[in-house]
Amino acid sequence: MLPQKQAEEAIVSNLTEMELETREEDKDEEEQQSLFSVKNLLWHGGSAWDAWFSCASNQVAQVLLTLPYSFSQLGMLSGILLQVFYGLMGSWTAYIISVLYIEYRSRKEKENVSFKNHVIQWFEVLDGLLGPYWKAAGLAFNCTFLLFGSVIQLIACASNIYYINDKLDKRTWTYIFGACCATTVFIPSFHNYRIWSFLGLGMTTYTAWYLAIAAFVHGQVDGVTHSGPKKLVLYFTGATNILYTFGGHAVTVEIMHAMWKPQKFKYIYLMATLYVFTLTLPSASAVYWAFGDELLNHSNAFSLLPKNGFRDAAVILMLIHQFITFGFACTPLYFVWEKVIGMHDTKTICLRALARLPVVIPIWFLAIIFPFFGPINSAVGALLVSFTVYIIPALAHMLTYRKASARQNAAEKPPFFMPSWTAMYAFNAFIVVWVLVVGFGFGGWASMTNFIRQIDTFGLFAKCYQCKPPPPTGAAAAAANHH
């Protein structure tokens, strides 16, 4: 009992040191900004509330507009059940990631490693706990997912603004918003997303309830049918979009590192997910109830709702929020790139911003090649999200605590609702098998089949994906009027 007690005392001491060091890291900046309390209030965040707003704001953005499309593929019952299932599964793996972060940091601080001016990232956690091969896997999947996550936000910007101003095609809007989103290079870290996270969540909340209320006010279209699920390929495509929806915790480590007390993060993602349910379930259900199978050919819910001031406000708010989410997805990529070129310790914001710009260019280019708003979500969900935030964290936790000594000296013990290490191991094993077979296997087959169909139908570099054909002119218009 004595060694165990000493180990527990060491862990408590270590966590206290972690908290003190985190505070010390921010002390200089806080002293410099002490005369600017308003700036601190809006710009410099690290509380549990800041983390909650960041998680909730980042978890659901443009995907809110594609969930009705997924419901048309899945049917109402499957859509609701899968949202709850993947939401809770995502919360569990976010918890697992937070536990591994605390474990890694506590071990490093025992070795007197300082993280001042250094942002810990997921691949570094894997490297410290499991070695270089895990680091390589984590880096490859995480960076590729965040890259395409940024691409999706850019595609969504072009898709949404088109419903306010269709004088420009979606590809042109992608050029414009690519330049706008490039300004995120000036936001140093997740500390500085305080006001943006707060505003972003307000914007998504408005949009979600606009979708639900507008759908009910509009009522069901004439002859509406709700035939989903009709085909396996559509069913698993819709399921992987929901897997993607609740897989937004690839930035968990960076959000935790921005907290003054990272050990408080454990249940924050679950609380964020419960709030997100109040946005996604009513809006997706209402729009699917109103439009039914029409949604199979309309991946953006805005396209079916009548144009008015409320819809335009929702579009504009979503555009701003997508800019914020673009920054959330890109910031970890900026950190990786800074570390590669040796600029991560640079304190000059303008110099860091200039160094970050090359990260935006491939994102811009990929958004122009694959403008398939909706289907690309499912493809990314199946091929990248499945490994990045479900399979790899669950496996990493199983391997990190496979030895009795590791479990005895663990910085975080099993949670109160699952106090057995065996139960945690079994649940992690279930996640690995389920996501590998259903998410990556069936989901990968279905989403890639659908994705390739979009390429065959619209082609790469599609100028205006799922746009209405232009009205006939000249002789064609005369012939149409004659008939």
Contact between 269 and 95 (Cβ < 8 Å):
yes
Q: 425 lies in which domain range?
A: 58-458
Number of residues written out for the chain: 483
Q: What is the mean pLDDT of each run of 10 residues along the chain (483 residues)?
A: 46 47 46 50 72 87 87 94 95 94 90 80 92 93 90 84 81 85 83 81 94 95 88 89 85 85 88 95 96 90 91 91 86 89 82 90 86 76 90 95 92 88 95 94 89 75 66 50 47
pTM equals: 0.83
Angle formed at CA 304 by CA 299 and CA 307, multiple of 5 degrees: 130
| Number of domains, the chain | 1
Task: Kindly state whether residue 75 falls inside one of the protein's structural domains.
Answer: yes
- CA–CA gap between residue 126 and residue 124 (Å, rounded): 5
Tell me the longest C-alpha to C-alpha distance in the chain.
Answer: 95
Task: Kindly state whether residue 273 falls inside one of the protein's structural domains.
Answer: yes
Task: Kindly state whether residue 35 falls inside one of the protein's structural domains.
Answer: no
Task: Kindly state whether residue 301 falls inside one of the protein's structural domains.
Answer: yes
pLDDT of residue 470: 60
Q: In terms of Cα–Cα distance, which of 279, 280, 303 is closest to 291? A: 303
Task: Kindly state whether residue 29 falls inside one of the protein's structural domains.
Answer: no
Task: Kindly state whether residue 431 falls inside one of the protein's structural domains.
Answer: yes
- CA–CA gap between residue 361 and residue 397 (Å, rounded): 35
Task: Kindly state whether residue 95 falls inside one of the protein's structural domains.
Answer: yes
Task: Kindly state whether residue 137 falls inside one of the protein's structural domains.
Answer: yes
CATH number for position 391? 1.20.1740
- CA–CA gap between residue 200 and residue 58 (Å, rounded): 8
Number of Cβ within 10 Å of residue 169's Cβ equals 16
